[in-house]
Amino acid sequence: MKVILRPGTIEDATECGRICYEAFKSIADQHHFPPEISTVEVATAIISTRLSHPDYYSVVAELDGKIVGSNFLDERSVIAGIGPVSVDPPVMDAAIGRQLMQAVIDRASQRRFPGVRGVVDAWHYRMLSLCTKLGADSREALTTMQGPPLALKIPGYDVRPAREEDLPACNRLCFRVHGHDRAGELVDAFRQGTINVVEHLGRLTGYSTGIGCRSHAVAESNDDLKALIGAAPDFSDAGFLVPSRNGDLFRWCLSRGLRVVCQAILLTFGLYNDPVGAYLPSITY
Residue 22: is its pLDDT beyond 90? Answer: yes
Helices assigned H by DSSP within the chain: 13-30, 40-52, 96-110, 125-133, 167-178, 183-192, 222-231, 247-255
Instruction: Give me the pLDDT at residue 31, please.
Output: 85
Find the angle CA(216)-CA(225)-CA(283) to the nearest 5 degrees: 20
pLDDT tens column, 226-274: 999 999 999 987 899 999 999 999 999 999 999 999 999 999 999 999 9
- pLDDT-based confidence at 215, cuts 50/70/90? very high
Conformation bin of residue 16: beta by default, left when phi > 0, alpha when psi is -120 to 50: alpha
93 has pLDDT over 90: no
Task: Indicate the pLDDT class of residue 99, thresholds 50, 70 and 90.
Answer: very high
pLDDT of residue 238: 85
- The amino acid at residue 255 is S
Q: What is the pLDDT of residue 50?
A: 97
Q: Is 52 helix (H, G, I), strand (E, B) or coil?
A: helix
The H-or-E segment that residue 81 falls in is strand 80-82
Domains of the chain by range and CATH?
A: 3-113 (3.40.630.30), 146-280 (3.40.630.30)
Task: Let me know: does 83 contact 102? Beta carbons within 8 Å.
Answer: no
Could you tell me the pLDDT band of residue 94, with boundaries at 50, 70 and 90?
Answer: confident
- pLDDT of the residue at 1: 67
Please compute the mean of the pLDDT values over residues 117-143 and round it to a whole number.
96
Over the chain, what is the mean pLDDT? Answer: 96
Q: How would you class 132 by CB atoms within 10 Å of its CB: exposed for 0-12, middle for 13-18, buried for 19 or more?
A: middle
pLDDT of residue 35: 81
φ, ψ for residue 45, nearest 5 deg: -65, -40
Residue 203 CA to residue 285 CA, distance in Å, equals: 26
Percentage of residues of the chain with pLDDT beyond 70: 100
